[in-house]
Amino acid sequence: MLKKMLKVLLSLTLLVGFAGVAQAEMTREEYAIKFRRSSFTTMTWYMGAMSRMVKGEMTYDKALFARNAEYVAFLSKLPKDGFIPGTESGDTKAKPEIWSKADKFKDANDNMEKETAKLAELAKVGNFDDLKEQYGKMQKTCKVCHEEFKKKAD
């Protein structure tokens, strides 16, 4: 009974979700590309203040750093859901290797999730030297993946 109710609820949710997409006059694939790109953008926005603190352009604020690091750790889990089949081309810089070397792409993504989570943990403690080091390690995971899986220009 409960299972059946859940099923109905789920299909309703999917319908509503789909209606939203249809309204925006986009295919599900176009929407997935928009989603993953904007989730990377959102994540990067929350790195901004941390980056300025690490570079010494802004006074270290433990609470703000910790909050943003937590957001980034969470947001880093989102983009992978947007790399669905059928999104190899379109308004995207994704390279075909994302799908042909899926294991390697997953490793690169797992690394980002791991290092952002570690930054969030360290940010609660608040040792600024540790944070600077871990921020660098986290940024490296972006670079590694972009070099192999993201096109440089359109």
Selected from 36, 70, 120, 131, the binder of ligand HEC by CB under 6 A is 36
Contacts for 23-29 with beta carbons within 8 Å, 24 or more apart?
28/84, 29/84, 29/86, 29/87, 29/90
Tokens 């176009």 map to which residue?
30
Q: Is 40 in the site for ligand HEC (CB under 6 A)?
A: yes
Q: Is 108 in the site for ligand HEC (CB under 6 A)?
A: yes
Q: Is 149 in the site for ligand HEC (CB under 6 A)?
A: yes
Q: Is 109 in the site for ligand HEC (CB under 6 A)?
A: yes
Q: Is 32 in the site for ligand HEC (CB under 6 A)?
A: no
**Closest separation between CB of residue 117 and ligand HEC, Å?**
12
Q: Is 140 in the site for ligand HEC (CB under 6 A)?
A: no
The count of residues interacting with ligand HEC (CB under 6 A) is 22
Q: Is 150 in the site for ligand HEC (CB under 6 A)?
A: yes
Q: Is 105 in the site for ligand HEC (CB under 6 A)?
A: yes
Q: Is 145 in the site for ligand HEC (CB under 6 A)?
A: yes
Helix axes 62-75, 28-54, angle to 10 degrees: 150
First to last CA, the chain: 51
Q: At 69, list the tokens.
A: 């690091």
The DSSP annotation for 117-144 comes to HHHHHHHHHT-HHHHHHHHHHHHHHHHH
Q: Is 100 in the site for ligand HEC (CB under 6 A)?
A: no
Q: Is 101 in the site for ligand HEC (CB under 6 A)?
A: no
Amino acid identity for residue 128 in this structure: F
Q: Site residues (CB under 6 A) for ligand HEC?
A: 33, 36-37, 40-41, 43-44, 47, 92-94, 105, 108-109, 112, 138, 141-142, 145-146, 149-150
